[in-house]
Structure 1
């Protein structure tokens, strides 16, 4: 029975796509340095890339630093040996060494109708369409703020992936931090995955719909009053890298222990147009040792006398945040947009003469404020119920900021090694810590070189 079901699925995929699975894409695109030994099945590549940005910012009160910066400078290598593929790249931008991707992948079953692989190392978790796209192939200077604030980035882990012309499934398990440097106990862990269905996928149009899911258990933090306190910080820059400050969009969530992130997505690609979007919802569940905290405060001037009274005066609840973005582009001239089956992503404009215009709207909400709570800017504190009191004055509200941003841009590819990008962005911010900062304007350009 299973054989017949598999046959029908394969036949249906061929009818819709009218093609084989598209070829895999090398992570080092267009390498100038490569060694190939066909007899032994070895291919080695080495390359580098450089991003140089210039930006002008105009804000109402808190200034952002206009200027120019090297925002990305990487050395990249890859080695293919039969079904094994190794990749590593390292970033030296801004004079600081940063570890990026380093992994090995094994394609243990490969055919014209589907590819299975296992991947292990340090790389992006399969949890967001935006974060899984390389910035060199991205059609905007920065990724969307909701993806940067709410989705997981790189992690140390292992994944299993299957993809063909109709389906894509990538899922795995990751450690919370790559160095196992928590204060004590078991290292945190996450389970994440991204799944896509492509009802249309041929040489004229690709449509995919899908969703991502991530569960994370946190076990890093700090010791407060002899009690281990886990926490998490959600943050994003203003969709720019010359001034990469995250103070305007920043939510510090104390006692966070378990996180759940879900995100539906959609992508439409034709030869000269693309439209894609993603919604991300994040919920953080908290856990603390109330009994130990209560006992530690006994004997103080303002000490609570019972555990129930202390808990009533120090409430705790889960927190939730959300965001979304929509991006679109139109190719004025060039070879045409393409779709990458291996990663479930839109390809970049990498052929000489490609000229496109793009637009994006993004919404990021890192505010989780209780109705009726009052924020006193002088003390930087929320007061529950709008009552200003010195004691206990404990609110569960979090004011991480809410950002609406609209971006338009023009991108041009000189050749397969050099691109330029230009953007204008208007942003509207609502953040209780920055009440005088509402409207932001920014102009930025980027020169990209990759070889």
Structure 2
């Protein structure tokens, strides 16, 4: 039997299809790749071009009764890294998740990268969220409510070892929603709260830091960046809103952060947020994961979507005398979903560079970007 199951899994890996072993074990192998390119008039050259494989990963999802296992390995950038590595247990309206994944903070960060409206999340999302963390999360979902909470290490599984940060994070999220199935509309409002303990067992004073790449991660320097010594605890939160209709959607989040300091200096308090929307020229409806409270790509396999986003991020805090930069950006784009597997995204962003941004950014600039993606 073991040889039979192994043979089935090998065949599944080759053809990318579901297999069933002993009727209750279902395994789906999956893969995705994101190829990005951008052109900008910013920099020493009159025109600069950038391109790279932003993300390439392979993995699988297996279900056995009420158990679910998800695993993804990233192969981009010349490095091998574990992405999602989760064991989920579902019963009724409840789910418990163990492993390496995102904490429930920011619905935009929880959206699959391939389903984002733009090449990456807004600058404010990147500033006030973190990478995956190793921990446990409990979810409760009902037609009108979603609640989740979890406890995590302040590291993903790839950072455990000599470079790990010895701190813990507790994050909670609550959502209220109302849907009209006849008119295919959904209203969703909510918020999240996160607390991080002070880092311990350090040879020097813990350093606090916040950064954001802005509208692209292809440039060599982050747009916004602040760091300071004597980092203590951190408290951050957000409010979120989402509206889905047959032909358009609107999504917004506002973040606030408080990073306390052990030296008696004033706490550092950056903030920011974004609002974005999509309108379908072709196609109807948008996917929505009720279990985790996140929107997705258009519901129809073939779709054309016009998208727009305005973002504001302020990392300057006069009271704490910490200055990480301030910026505003406006992005417009069009997304072509050729089928449920392949898509093309084209967009442009204009960035207003404010005071105290990274020294690499001396003036406002426009950036055009494109992405070719597949996901199976």
| TM-score after normalising by structure 2 | 0.89
2:146 aligns to what?
168
Shift in alpha-carbon separation, 1:280–1:230, aligned structure 2, 3 A: same
1:89 Cα shift?
0.5
Residue 261 of structure 1: SS of its match in structure 2?
A: strand
Question: Is residue 35 of structure 1 aligned with residue 19 of structure 2?
Answer: yes
Shift in alpha-carbon separation, 1:435–1:103, aligned structure 2, 3 A: closer
1:200 aligns to what?
179
Spell out, residue by residue over 1:381-415, the C-alpha distance to the aligned partner (whole angstroms, 9 max, x if none).
xxxxxxxxxxxxxxx52121111010000001111
Question: After superposition, where does 1:263-302 map in structure 2 within 5 Å?
Answer: 263-288=238-263
75, 78, 102: which one pairs with 1:124? 102
Question: After superposition, where does 1:81-160 map in structure 2 within 5 Å?
Answer: 81-107=64-90, 109-110=91-92, 115-160=93-138
1:54 aligns to what?
37
Greater Rg, structure 1 or structure 2? 1
1:61 Cα shift?
6.7
Shift in alpha-carbon separation, 1:344–1:63, aligned structure 2, 3 A: farther
Q: Structure 2: 5+ residue runs without aligned partners? A: 1-14
2:169 aligns to what?
190
Residue 437 of structure 1: SS of its match in structure 2?
A: coil
Contact in 2 for aligned 1:131/1:153 (Cα 8 Å): no
Contact in 1 for aligned 2:61/2:69 (Cα 8 Å): yes
1:252 Cα shift?
0.8
1:123 Cα shift?
0.1
Contact in 1 for aligned 2:166/2:201 (Cα 8 Å): no
Question: After superposition, where does 1:274-423 map in structure 2 within 5 Å?
Answer: 274-288=249-263, 316-349=265-298, 351-370=300-319, 396-423=320-347
Number of aligned positions between the proteins? 358
1:75 aligns to what?
58
1:140 Cα shift?
1.2
1:255 aligns to what?
230
Spell out, residue by residue over 1:412-437, the C-alpha distance to the aligned partner (whole angstroms, 9 max, x if none).
11111110000010001124353971
1:231 aligns to what?
207
Residue 415 of structure 1: SS of its match in structure 2?
A: coil
1:339 Cα shift?
1.9
For 2:201 and 2:47, locate their aligned partners in 1 and report how far apart those are by CA, in whole Å. 30
Spell out, residue by residue over 1:241-298, the C-alpha distance to the aligned partner (whole angstroms, 9 max, x if none).
333631x21111321110011100000001111001000000011114xxxxxxxxxx
Of stretches 69-78 and 212-221 in structure 1, the one that deviates more from structure 2 is 212-221
1:66 Cα shift?
2.3
1:151 Cα shift?
1.9
For 1:338 and 1:422, locate their aligned partners in 2 and report how far apart those are by CA, in whole Å. 21
1:153 Cα shift?
2.9
Contact in 1 for aligned 2:285/2:299 (Cα 8 Å): no
For 1:62 and 1:207, locate their aligned partners in 2 and report how far apart those are by CA, in whole Å. 47
Contact in 1 for aligned 2:282/2:304 (Cα 8 Å): yes
Shift in alpha-carbon separation, 1:65–1:220, aligned structure 2, 3 A: farther
Contact in 1 for aligned 2:283/2:299 (Cα 8 Å): no
1:242 aligns to what?
218
Contact in 2 for aligned 1:33/1:46 (Cα 8 Å): yes
Shift in alpha-carbon separation, 1:182–1:365, aligned structure 2, 3 A: farther
Shift in alpha-carbon separation, 1:217–1:201, aligned structure 2, 3 A: farther
For 1:64 and 1:234, locate their aligned partners in 2 and report how far apart those are by CA, in whole Å. 30
